[in-house]
Amino acid sequence: MSEWKFNRDAIRAFRFVRCSFDAATGVAQLVYAFDDGPELIETVTVPGAPFALDDARAQAAERALRLLHLIAGVSYYKAAVPEEIRIDSYAIDADTAALMELIYVNGLGEFAYRNGLNLHGRIRFPVAQQQGASAPALGLREHALVAIGGGKDSLVSIEALRSLGIEQTVTWIGGSQLIRACAERTGLPTLNLGRTLAPQLFDYNREGAWNGHIPVTVLNSAIMVFAAVLLGVDQVVFSNERSASYGSMIEGTGEVNHQWSKGWACEQAFGEYVQREIAADLHYYSLLRPLSELAVARQFARTDRYDAHFSSCNRNFHILGERPASRWCGVCPKCHFVFLALAPFMPKPRLMGIFGRNLLDDPAQTGGYDALLEFQDHKPFECVGEGRESRAAMAALAERPEWREDALVERFVREIRPQLDASELRIEPLLVIDDEHRIPASLWERLRAQFAA
């Protein structure tokens, strides 16, 4: 074993070695390996131990733990993308294998594109078990674990649930101080779940592992589903908007979606699996699925409670390395997009106060905005709205005296708008509320009224 060296091209198999949960400490261990190399151990910690679970809940927790083990393996599998996948300590059925293949192939879509790999037909999870009976209801109490990511989207959901009188715990994974500050600002009960990646992964990255984006939202979702079973609550709520279902259109390749695991196809498949295989009364859904990014931005602008606390800039969220000097780096696609999406819905001085500058009056940001507008470039690989949303927001600003002389708005009017169909530049059609979602019927009518107001 001590002779083993990471060599991505020589590795034959990725192994799901075992997973375990210690109810006395709240620590779960997710163990993987390449061939007969060292064990790669990821840990997830759920506060509130010791957990005393009855038989039905203990069995559901074991099923949720295996689901998490399978999904979290994507961080390690991607390092070598070997031909074979093995599961050493339990067996999975065809439905589980199909869900994993869906998540791995699509969730690693950007990773594969950027590395010139073709994962279709390559990722095969071994099926060694017949389909079992559907999971029973556990008698979970009515309470929502709401994911918070530090950005605008989750804050919109949290405020919506608050106004509907739904009991919630604001929940996040990892050690981000920015997310903690936002969570505390809500004034609601909070829960911080621990997650530590196997340290060898960072060595492997330095030693030439394949690297790239992983489907982090479905991974966070699986962690929260596991926590929900332990804590005995019936809802896991995310804040993934409709626009997340649409990727970047790449010439010669087709659609590649950075945020596939925030999209509708993933939510449907994962949510149905959780209800069928983990607990019949555990509901996983995105509260913002019926809304576009612009509609979410409009909702967010209705309160200034979080202006001094939130950030959508992903540069704040690295596990290793540098963070930006301020909450908004001002030069990444998320900063560009969020500034543009909020601009039609809030007074200019408020927006400039949030960002500390005017990104639309900075010619250095031209390339970044062109990509968002899908003008001579494709939509960036980031969690940003559709090109038509960016174009409609820019067109709205072009009509506003306080914005139209800013460098990038003025350029849009002069160079880009003349090439576009004016009938496709209206914001209103993009604010329409969709009916495709998994929001429980008991909430939906009241929520719809709130979103429509």
Ligand X SMILES: CC(=O)N[C@H]1[C@@H](OP(=O)(O)OP(=O)(O)OC[C@H]2O[C@@H](n3ccc(=O)[nH]c3=O)[C@H](O)[C@@H]2O)O[C@H](CO)[C@@H](O)[C@@H]1O[C@H](C)C(=O)N[C@@H](C)C(=O)N[C@@H](CCC(=O)O)C(=O)O
Residues that bind ligand ATP (CB under 6 A): 147-154, 172-174, 179, 217, 220, 238-240, 262, 312, 338, 383
Burial environment of residue 140 by CB neighbours within 10 A (0 to 12, 13 to 18, 19 or more): buried
Q: Which does 213 bind (CB under 5 to 8 A by kind): ligand ATP, ligand X, none?
A: ligand X
388 binds ligand X (CB under 6 A): no
Our CA angle for 96, 227, 92, nearest 5°, is: 15
Our CA angle for 30, 36, 37, nearest 5°, is: 70
Minimum distance between the CB of residue 148 and ligand ATP, rounded to whole angstroms?
Answer: 5
Question: Exposure string (b/e) for 25-50, b if CB count within 10 Å is 16 or more?
Answer: ebbbbbbbbbeebeebbbebbbeeee
Minimum distance between the CB of residue 164 and ligand X, rounded to whole angstroms?
Answer: 24
Q: Which does 66 bind (CB under 5 to 8 A by kind): ligand X, ligand ATP, none?
A: none
150 binds ligand X (CB under 6 A): no
Among 157, 169, 314, 365, binds ligand X (CB under 6 A): 314
Among 26, 109, 150, 215, binds ligand X (CB under 6 A): 215
Q: Which of the ranges 125-133, 257-265, 287-295, 354-362 carries the binding residues for ligand X, by CB under 6 A?
A: 257-265
Beta-strand runs (E) in 197-318: 233-238, 248-250, 254-256, 283-286
H or E element at residue 87: strand 84-87
Q: Which is nearer to ligand X, 201 or 233 (CB)?
A: 201
SS3 107: helix
137 binds ligand X (CB under 6 A): no
216 binds ligand X (CB under 6 A): yes
383 binds ligand X (CB under 6 A): yes
177 binds ligand X (CB under 6 A): no
Minimum distance between the CB of residue 176 and ligand ATP, rounded to whole angstroms?
Answer: 6
> What whole-number distance in Å separates Cα of residue 235 and Cα of residue 144?
5
> Quick one: which of 255, 271, 259, 180 has its CA closest to 216?
259
221 binds ligand X (CB under 6 A): no
Minimum distance between the CB of residue 125 and ligand X, rounded to whole angstroms?
Answer: 19
Q: Which does 319 bind (CB under 5 to 8 A by kind): ligand X, ligand ATP, none?
A: ligand X
> What whole-number distance in Å separates Cα of residue 47 and Cα of residue 143?
17
> What whole-number distance in Å separates Cα of residue 68 and Cα of residue 62?
10
Among 29, 190, 211, 268, binds ligand X (CB under 6 A): 211
Q: Which is nearer to ligand X, 67 or 395 (CB)?
A: 67
Minimum distance between the CB of residue 279 and ligand ATP, rounded to whole angstroms?
Answer: 20
Q: Is 252 left (phi over 0), alpha (psi -120 to 50) or beta?
A: left
Which amino acid would we find at residue 420? L
**DSSP code string of 55-79:** HHHHHHHHHHHHHHHHHHTHHHHHH
Segment 179-198, which members bind ligand X (CB under 6 A)? 197
Q: Which is nearer to ligand X, 169 or 261 (CB)?
A: 261
Q: Which does 147 bind (CB under 5 to 8 A by kind): ligand X, ligand ATP, none?
A: ligand ATP
Instruction: List alpha helices for 164-274, DSSP H.
Output: 177-185, 200-206, 216-231, 264-273
Residue 237 near residue 56, CB atoms below 8 Å: no
338 binds ligand X (CB under 6 A): no
Contacting residues toward ligand X, per CB under 6 A: 75, 197, 201, 205, 211-217, 259, 261-262, 314, 317-321, 383
